[in-house]
Amino acid sequence: MRRMLSAVLTLSLALAGCKAKEALDKANIANDLNKRGTVDLMKQVADDKYDAPADGKLTDAQVQMYLKVRGHEKDIVKVAREEAKKHADAANKAGEKSLSGMIEGFKTLGSAADMLTADIRAAKDLGFNTQEYIWVKSQILAASTAAMGEKMQQGMAATMEASHAQMKKSYDEAKDDQTKAMYKQMLDSYEQQQKEMAANKTAEEPAVAYNRQLLSKYESTLNAFATELSKWEDKPGEVQKSVDQWQKDLDKATAEAKKQ
């Protein structure tokens, strides 16, 4: 019994400590947002310099930097969103045409700017070169977007292949010349589309392919795209859930199309 009470007490103290730390972190972030606005932050960012590598390839250290910044960015976005809501509510209560309402409205816009630049602020807080971070993030988003585009192309290709197979089967089974001619025209049109798509398809840049492979060591390459959108979500995890569901639905549709 004593051991159980001791364990419960230890757990309670640990949870209380976590909540206290979270509250302190939020207070520190709110204080920084109040003291160092977006304009001040941009002035600090302008002092950083970075020469990006000519080959455009990321390193493991840079991906790890991006992930660390992203973790702190979420904390800043959370506080900035709460501040934005507080000011928006105050503006509505005071009336948009009143002086205090206008002031609160400007503060709401300021909090929105804080959300938009939360990642740069996070990089600065963690002591990273913000110009390097900005370049790293752009490379990661390019890799993430390329991964999303490729997945969509795979789904479209599988669907088109299934349609082509069905058309070919209908053509082979057609009993009269008129029906055969109709399916022949459809097959010719499909083959022409395939040729045009193949001609317009551009090879993936070596840097993007390399960065995709490197990023996949740490997480799904689609996560970066989802995280960027999540800044503006109403419920935490809503965007990530939607992207995960989209990926599952597309994989399922692609698999079903291939079976056909």
- Summarised one tens digit per residue, pLDDT across range 3-35 is 555 554 454 544 445 455 555 567 788 778 878
Task: Say which range, 74-88, 109-123, 159-173, has the weakest mean pLDDT.
Answer: 159-173
User: 197 near 154, Cβ under 8 Å?
Assistant: no
- Summarised one tens digit per residue, pLDDT across range 43-93 is 888 899 999 999 999 999 999 999 999 999 989 988 888 887 887 777 777
* Phi, psi dihedral angles at 159 (to 5 degrees): -65, -45
- Summarised one tens digit per residue, pLDDT across range 203-218 is 678 999 999 999 999 9
Mean pLDDT (the chain) is 80
Q: Which long-range contacts link 128-135 to residues 24+ away (Cβ below 8 Å)?
A: 128/65, 128/69, 129/48, 129/49, 129/50, 130/44, 130/45, 130/48, 131/45, 131/48, 131/49, 131/50, 132/48, 132/50, 132/52, 132/62, 132/65, 133/65, 133/66, 133/69, 135/50, 135/52
Tell me the whole-structure pTM to 2 decimals: 0.71
Residue 5 to residue 1: CA distance in whole angstroms: 6
Q: How confident is the model at residue 95 (pLDDT cuts 50, 70, 90)?
A: confident
* Residue 48 backbone class (left: φ over 0; alpha: ψ -120 to 50; beta: rest): beta
User: Per mean pLDDT, which of 32-36, 178-182, 235-239 is the most reliable?
Assistant: 178-182
**Mean pLDDT of the 217-246 span:** 77
Confidence at residue 139, expressed as pLDDT on a 0 to 100 scale: 95
1 pLDDT more than 60 = no
**Mean pLDDT of the 170-182 span:** 83
In this structure, which amino acid lies at residue 146? A
Confidence at residue 126, expressed as pLDDT on a 0 to 100 scale: 95
CA nearest neighbour of 42 among 136, 130, 137, 108: 130
Confidence at residue 113, expressed as pLDDT on a 0 to 100 scale: 83
